[in-house]
Structure 1
C-alpha cells in the first residue's frame, strides 16, 4: 500500500486536480490519498470565524467565497449527470458550517474547540470532491472521514495523537476495506468524545504519516508544488537545488527550522516503522524529488541544507543571581511552558550569567510579563535584570547528518557571515552536531542565506553584485567588458558578476535579479530619473551579499558617500581621485572604515589607469620596504598632448583631440592645470605611508592664468587659441635644447612638486610615447636602480580594465 498526500496547491482548482488523477492512474499498488483543503480555503475559514466572533457580518462574504471555490470545482470536474449528487453532499457540509459561523456571530465568541470544528470543513469539502472525481475517472474509490480513525486528546488547535487507539482503528479499517483507492481528509481528527480536533497547520502531512504507520505502508509520498526539499528556500535563494537523498533526522532538523515543504511532526510516525518518504512535485511528476529514509547518501558535502525561521524574538535573562543557583533554567522553562509558549532556540553562557531563548514574535509580550513576574523577587533585589526582549530577528541553520565528522564548519559559517557584515546575536549547536544555528537580524536573512548557500553549495562560485554610478565613456567600456567576460569568469575564476544598478547623470535603473547587459542602454533610457541619494539608499536597502559600489564619475559629492557604503559592508571601487586626495583625515577615515568593516576599498585606477602602480606599491609597503623617492609622469593625457604637439600642430588642436579620444577629464583644465597630477602623486605619497595634504605640493604651472580662469570649455579652448604663441615658445625652447616636454611629478625628502620639465635624451622619461605613464620608485630595496612601472596611463578602455581588475580582486579575495 502506498500513501499519497496532496497539498493545497496540488488541489487548488479543477485543472490541478486533473493532474492529481493522472498521477494516480500510473500507480499499481493499493492507494491511500490524503487531501488538504483547496488553496486559500483554510485562511478564508479562519477569517470567517474571526469576523463572526467580532460581530462582523462580512463573515458571510468569506463563506460565499468558500462555497464558490467548491462549486466551481464540482462544475468543472464532475459529469453533469452526477453533479446534483455531489452538490447535495457538499451542501450538507456547508449547511453545518454556516450554522457554526452563525453561532459564533450570535454569541460573539470563538473558542479553540469551535475553531477546529469550523476549519475542518476545508479538508472535508476538498476530499469529498476529490474522491468523487477520482472514482469517476478511475473507479473503485471510496471516501473515509479521518475523524473516525485518528484519535487525539482534547488540545484543540494542535492535538496530540493517541497512537495506540489510532493504529488499532486504522489496521481494522484496512482489513475490511476493499477499495483500490481510499481518500481521506488531512489535518482533522477527533478526541475520545468524538469532538473534532486538528493537528496543526500543515497537519495533512501528519495525517498521511499517521495512516502510513497504522497501515504499515510501503512508502509515503508527499505531493506539493516544489520538486523536493531544497538546499535552501528557492524563493529566497535562486541557486537552491533539490536534495536527492536525506535522512529522517536531517529532514526533521530542516523542517523544524522552517523548511515548509514538510510539516515537522510528519517524520516521527514513519521513522518508527522505517517507511520512506518521498517529496514530489504535482506539476513536474517526472522530477526525481527528495527521498527520505534512515540512510543518507553523501555527495561529499557534509551540509545538506540551509534554512531559517522568521519572526523570532530573543529573550535574555541575566544577572549575578543566576550564577551557581540550581533550578534557574528549570524555572524559566516552566514559566514559558505554563504560558504554552514554544521555545525554538536555547543558549546559555558557560559562566551561567545569562540564559537566552528564542521564541516567536507573537509570544514575546506575554513571555516577558510572565518571566518578570516569576523572577520578581530577584529583580527587586537587583540580582537579576528584567527580561531583555529583542524583536526583529530570525534563526538561520546549516543542517547535515555528517557535519559532526568534519572540522571547521562552524568557522566557515561564521566567517562567511562576518565577511558580509551579518551580525550574529546568539549561537547554538546540539550535541548531535546535525545543525549549527545562529540568531541574526531579520533584515539580513536574504543576504545570509545566499552567502551561506554560495559558500557550501555552489562549487565556491562567488556572486558579485555591482552598483555602477557613471556609465559614460569609461563606464560604457566597463559594462561591455563585464558582458564579454562573464562566462570566462564563471568558468575559470568561479566569479559570477551581476550588475544590479546603473546610473548616469540623467537616469538610473535597478534590477535585483541583474540587468540584461545586452541592451542596457535602452533599459537605462526608459528608467527613472537619476537621484544620488535614492541610488545610495536603494543600494543599502537591497542588502545583497558581496555588494560593490563602482564609482566611475569625477563627482565630488559622489566621492563623499564612500563612508556610507563601507560602513554597510558594501565594497567601493573607484577611479574618482577626489576622495583619496581630499583632506588626509577623510582619506585616513576611509582606509580605517575599510579595515574595521573588512570591506574592500580599491582605487587602482586613481593612478595610471589600468597599470598596477598602487597594487605594486601596497605590496612593497606590506612586505616591509620603504619608499624614499618617487619620480613619475602620471598624466597620460598630458603625455599624449606633449608627444603630439609640434611645429605642425597647434596646442589647441592637440588638446581637443585628446578630449575626443577620452584621454582628458570632461573639464580639460583639471589635467592642464596640474591638479590631476597633484592628486595622483599625493595618493602615491599617502600609500607610501607619508602624511601630506594637496596644498603641500608645489605646482609649477605652465598654463597662463587667463586660460585657467575661464568658466566653461568653450571659453577655455578659445583662450588656448589666443595664447598659441605662449605654447609655441615653450615647445621651441625644448626643441632648441634637444629635449622633450614631460609633465613630471616628484617626491623626495618629504617634499613634492609637479610641473613641466625639459627631459634630455639620457633620461628614462625621454622615450615615453603616446599616452604612456611611467613611475620610478626608489626604496630600501631599489636604491641604485629604481623599480619602474610603465605603460598606457589614459584612455577609456584601459581605465575600464583597471576598474574591472579591482572588481576581480574582490572576487578572488
Structure 2
C-alpha cells in the first residue's frame, strides 16, 4: 500500500488534476490512498467568506459565487457532459449547505471556532469528491471516503489534537476493509468524538496522509507538491539552491519547522515511529528524483544539509540585576507567554542569568510586552527587573544537518560569513545535538544572508561578486568587455562568478537583479532611467546583495565623495579615480578605517600606474616590515607619451592632441600637463608608505606658461599651446643639447615630495622609458642601493581596465 498526498497547487484546476490522475494510474501498489487538499486558493476564499459574513458584509456572496464557479467549471472540464449530473448535484448540494452556514454567521454577526471549522472544511470535501468522481469516470477503480469518519480529534477547533488510538482503529476498520484499488480522501479535516467537524491546522493535509500511512503500515508516504523535493535553501530566494536527494527524519523536521514549506512539521511524527519513508515529489515533473526522507541517512554528503529561515520574528528580552540567582524567573516568564497562547520559537540566556531573550511571532509582540510587564510589575517598580525590550522586523536563519556536531568550526564559518557581508546577529541558539544552529537577523538581510551561506556551504567555493559600475566611457567600456571575455575562465579556474547588476553613465542608469547582459549593455543602458548618483546608491543599498562592489571609472569629485556611504554599508569600492585618495589626509584615513571597520575592501591600484602592481607591491613591502627611504618615478603615461613623441619635427600642440585622442590623458589634458595628476600619484604613494602629507605639501615646478594654466576650456588650452610653441621647442633643444631626454619626474624622500620636468641623461633608468610607460624606483631598507623597479605601460584604457579587473579579483580572493 502507498499513500499519496497532493497539495493545493497540484489540484488547482482541471489540467493539474489530469496530471494527478496520470501519476495515480502509474502507481505500482496493491492499493493507493490519495489524500487531496482543497483546490489552490479555495481555503483562503472560504476564510474570506467567513470574515465577510461575520462582519455582516454582503460581499461574502460574491466570494461564495467565485468558489461555486471554480468547482462547477472544474467538474465540467473533467467529466463528459452526459455524466456530469451526479457530480454537479452533489457539489451544488454541498454549496447550498455552505451558503446556509454563512447566512447564519451573517445574521448573528459573528463566527465561532466550531462554525469556522465547518465552513473551511468544504474546500477539501468539494475537491476530494470531484477528484474521486473524475477518477471513476476515467476507469480507475476509485472510491471516495470522508476522513471525518476515521480521523478523530478532541473538540479544540482550529487545530485539533488527534486521538491516535481511535484514529488507528477506525482507519483499519474503514479504509483497511475497502477493496477499491484507489481511495480518495479529503485532507486537513477530521471530526471530534462527538461528531463535530474539526481541522488539523494549515498544512494539515500532510498530517492526514501521515496518520493514514502510519495506521495502515503503508510502504511509503509520497507528498506531491509543486517543487522537486526539499531544497538546500528556498529556491525563490537562492537561485543556486538544489533538491536534497536524501535526508533524515530529524533533518526534515528541523527544515520544516524553520520555514521549508513543502512539508508540514507534524507530518513526520506518525510515520517516524513506524519507520515509513516519506518521498517528496513534483506533480509537474514526476520523473524528478525528489527528496527521500528516512530514519537513517547512510550515504555520505555535506555536513550542512540545508539552510532555512523563518520571517516575521520579534525578540522579547527580559533583563535586570534582580534576575541573578533568583529561582523561578524563567518559569514565570515562559508561563505567562504560554497562558496567552504565545509560542516561543527561539530561546537564549546569558550564563550570568542577567537576561533571557526569546523569539516569538511578530504578530504577538505587542500582547507579549503588555503581559510580561504586568507579570513582573513588582520587580519593575523596584528596578530589580527592567521593562521588557521588544525588537521587531527580524528573522531566524538556521543551518541544519545531522552530522554537524562531529565537524568543528561550523558556527565560526557561519558567523564569519554573515559578518563579512555586514549581517548583524541579534541572538544565537544552538542545541547540544548541534543539528541546528540558529541566528536572529534583520528581516531585510534574509536574502543576502541565505545566499552568502549557501555560497559558503553548498556551491563548491564559487563566490558570486555583484558589481555596480559607474562610468562606462573609454575605461569603463573596456572593463565590461574584459569581464564578458573572462567570465567563463574566472568561474572555472578561480571559482568567481562575476555579475554586473547596475551600470550608470552621466546620462542614464540601469539595473537588472539577475545580471545585465554584457553582450548588449550599451543598448540596455540607452533605454535606462535618468542617471542619479543618490538613487544609484539607494538602489544598491536596497538590493542588499552579498559581495557588492561599487566600481568608479569616472574622474568625478562628486562620485568620489560618495565612497564613505558605500563603505559604511559594507559595499566594497574599486576605483581608478584618484580624487578620494589624494583629498585631504583626514578623508583618506577615514576611508581606509571605514574599509576595515565594515570589512569592505577599498582598492585603488589603478590610481598609480594603471594596471601596474605598484600600490600592491608597496603594501606588501610595508606589511612585511620594510621601510621606504626614497621613491623616484615617472608616473604619468600621458606626459611620458608626450615627451617621447615631441621633438623639433613635431609641434607640442599636435602631440598633446594625439595623446588626448588615444586616451592617454584625462578628459581635461591640463590635469596631466599641469602636474596635478602626478602630484596626486606621488601623494598616494607617500601616504601608502605611512607618511602624512597633503597635496599642498608637494613642490611643483610647472613647465606650462601661466596663460595655458589659466584657461578654462580645452579649446582655449590648445590655442595657448600653439601660441607658445617656440618656448616648448626651446625646452626640447636645451635637453637635446646635453644629450638628455625630457621626463616628468616625481620624487619622495625624507618626508618631502616634488614633481617637475627634468633632463634625464643617458644611462639613467628613466632614459629609455618608451611610449606611455611608467617606472617606479623604490629605495627601501632592504633595497637601499639597487632599488626595486616596477616598469610597464602606465596609461591607456585597456591597461587601466585590467588594473580595475585585478582589484575585483583581489576582492574575490579575500
TM-score w.r.t. the length of structure 2 is 0.99
Whole-Å Cα distance in 2 between the matches of residues 167 and 224 of structure 1? 26
Alignment correspondent of 1:172: 173
Whole-Å Cα distance in 2 between the matches of residues 272 and 96 of structure 1? 40
Q: Secondary structure at the match of 2:643?
A: helix
Alignment correspondent of 1:775: 776
Moved more, 488-497 or 724-733: 724-733
1:44 equivalent to 2:37? Answer: no
1:35 equivalent to 2:6? Answer: no
Would you say the 8 A contact 2:25–2:140 is kept in 1? Answer: no
Alignment correspondent of 1:16: 16
Would you say the 8 A contact 2:748–2:754 is kept in 1? Answer: yes
Alignment correspondent of 1:7: 7
Q: State the Cα distance separating 1:28 from its structure 2 match.
A: 2.6
Q: State the Cα distance separating 1:278 from its structure 2 match.
A: 0.3
1:216 equivalent to 2:239? Answer: no
Q: State the Cα distance separating 1:327 from its structure 2 match.
A: 1.6
Whole-Å Cα distance in 1 between the matches of residues 353 and 398 of structure 2? 24
Q: Secondary structure at the match of 1:518?
A: coil
Q: State the Cα distance separating 1:267 from its structure 2 match.
A: 0.2
Q: State the Cα distance separating 1:719 from its structure 2 match.
A: 1.4
Alignment correspondent of 2:194: 193
Deviations 1:467-519 (A, max 9, x none): 00001110000000000101100000100000000111111110111111111
Alignment correspondent of 1:75: 76
Matches within 5 A, 1:487-506: 487-506=488-507
Q: Secondary structure at the match of 1:719?
A: helix
Whole-Å Cα distance in 1 between the matches of residues 662 and 686 of structure 2? 29
Alignment correspondent of 1:561: 562
Whole-Å Cα distance in 1 between the matches of residues 624 and 229 of structure 2? 52
Whole-Å Cα distance in 2 between the matches of residues 332 and 138 of structure 1? 60
Alignment correspondent of 1:585: 586
Q: State the Cα distance separating 1:311 from its structure 2 match.
A: 0.2
Whole-Å Cα distance in 2 between the matches of residues 175 and 654 of structure 1? 97
Whole-Å Cα distance in 2 between the matches of residues 785 and 244 of structure 1? 62
Q: Which runs of 5+ in 1 are unaligned?
A: none
Alignment correspondent of 2:254: 253
Alignment correspondent of 1:262: 263
Deviations 1:285-331 (A, max 9, x none): 00000000001144431000000000000000111121111121111
Whole-Å Cα distance in 2 between the matches of residues 109 and 167 of structure 1? 36
Deviations 1:210-253 (A, max 9, x none): 11111111000000000000000000000000000000000000
TM-score w.r.t. the length of structure 1 is 0.99
Whole-Å Cα distance in 1 between the matches of residues 557 and 408 of structure 2? 48
1:616 equivalent to 2:617? Answer: yes
Alignment correspondent of 1:724: 725
Q: Secondary structure at the match of 1:517?
A: coil
Matches within 5 A, 1:168-317: 168-317=169-318
Would you say the 8 A contact 2:176–2:216 is kept in 1? Answer: no
Matches within 5 A, 1:390-401: 390-401=391-402
Matches within 5 A, 1:176-575: 176-575=177-576
Whole-Å Cα distance in 1 between the matches of residues 300 and 700 of structure 2? 65
Moved more, 296-305 or 789-798: 296-305
Structure 1 residues 297 and 457, CA, compared in 2 at 3 Å: closer, same or farther? farther
Matches within 5 A, 1:78-97: 78-97=79-98
Whole-Å Cα distance in 2 between the matches of residues 35 and 518 of structure 1? 48
Whole-Å Cα distance in 2 between the matches of residues 281 and 401 of structure 1? 25
Alignment correspondent of 1:123: 124
Stretches of 4+ aligned residues off by more than 2 angstroms? 297-300
Whole-Å Cα distance in 2 between the matches of residues 529 and 296 of structure 1? 55
Alignment correspondent of 1:141: 142
Whole-Å Cα distance in 1 between the matches of residues 562 and 725 of structure 2? 41
Whole-Å Cα distance in 2 between the matches of residues 115 and 366 of structure 1? 24
Would you say the 8 A contact 1:157–1:200 is kept in 2? Answer: yes
Whole-Å Cα distance in 2 between the matches of residues 187 and 662 of structure 1? 71
Structure 1 residues 294 and 604, CA, compared in 2 at 3 Å: closer, same or farther? same
Whole-Å Cα distance in 1 between the matches of residues 744 and 60 of structure 2? 83
Deviations 1:621-671 (A, max 9, x none): 111111111110000010001000112211111111111111100111110
Matched residue count: 813
Matches within 5 A, 1:654-665: 654-665=655-666
Whole-Å Cα distance in 2 between the matches of residues 297 and 490 of structure 1? 32
Whole-Å Cα distance in 1 between the matches of residues 361 and 144 of structure 2? 38
Moved more, 802-811 or 655-664: 655-664
Whole-Å Cα distance in 2 between the matches of residues 710 and 224 of structure 1? 72
Deviations 1:564-588 (A, max 9, x none): 1101000000000000000000000
Deviations 1:263-296 (A, max 9, x none): 0000000001111000000000000000000011
Whole-Å Cα distance in 2 between the matches of residues 261 and 723 of structure 1? 79
Whole-Å Cα distance in 1 between the matches of residues 456 and 576 of structure 2? 30
Whole-Å Cα distance in 2 between the matches of residues 393 and 637 of structure 1? 54
Q: Secondary structure at the match of 2:805?
A: helix
Moved more, 600-609 or 90-99: 90-99
Moved more, 307-316 or 775-784: 775-784
Deviations 1:380-430 (A, max 9, x none): 111111111100000000000011110110010000000101000000001
Deviations 1:5-28 (A, max 9, x none): 000110010000001011111113
Whole-Å Cα distance in 1 between the matches of residues 154 and 373 of structure 2? 32
Deviations 1:437-491 (A, max 9, x none): 0000001000000000000000011000000000111000000000010110000
Whole-Å Cα distance in 2 between the matches of residues 55 and 81 of structure 1? 40
Whole-Å Cα distance in 1 between the matches of residues 395 and 340 of structure 2? 22
Would you say the 8 A contact 1:230–1:242 is kept in 2? Answer: yes
Whole-Å Cα distance in 2 between the matches of residues 65 and 648 of structure 1? 89
Would you say the 8 A contact 1:641–1:654 is kept in 2? Answer: yes
Q: State the Cα distance separating 1:139 from its structure 2 match.
A: 2.4
Q: Secondary structure at the match of 1:370?
A: helix
Moved more, 170-179 or 261-270: 170-179
**Aligned residues: CA RMSD:** 0.8
Whole-Å Cα distance in 2 between the matches of residues 812 and 594 of structure 1? 16
Q: State the Cα distance separating 1:523 from its structure 2 match.
A: 0.7
Deviations 1:324-379 (A, max 9, x none): 11121111111111111111111111111111110111111111111111111111
Q: Which runs of 5+ in 2 are unaligned?
A: none
Whole-Å Cα distance in 2 between the matches of residues 716 and 93 of structure 1? 89
Moved more, 404-413 or 65-74: 65-74
Would you say the 8 A contact 1:245–1:297 is kept in 2? Answer: no
Whole-Å Cα distance in 2 between the matches of residues 713 and 665 of structure 1? 11
Alignment correspondent of 1:788: 789
Whole-Å Cα distance in 2 between the matches of residues 689 and 185 of structure 1? 75
Whole-Å Cα distance in 2 between the matches of residues 613 and 67 of structure 1? 75
Q: Secondary structure at the match of 1:280?
A: strand
Whole-Å Cα distance in 2 between the matches of residues 91 and 776 of structure 1? 92
Would you say the 8 A contact 1:246–1:297 is kept in 2? Answer: no
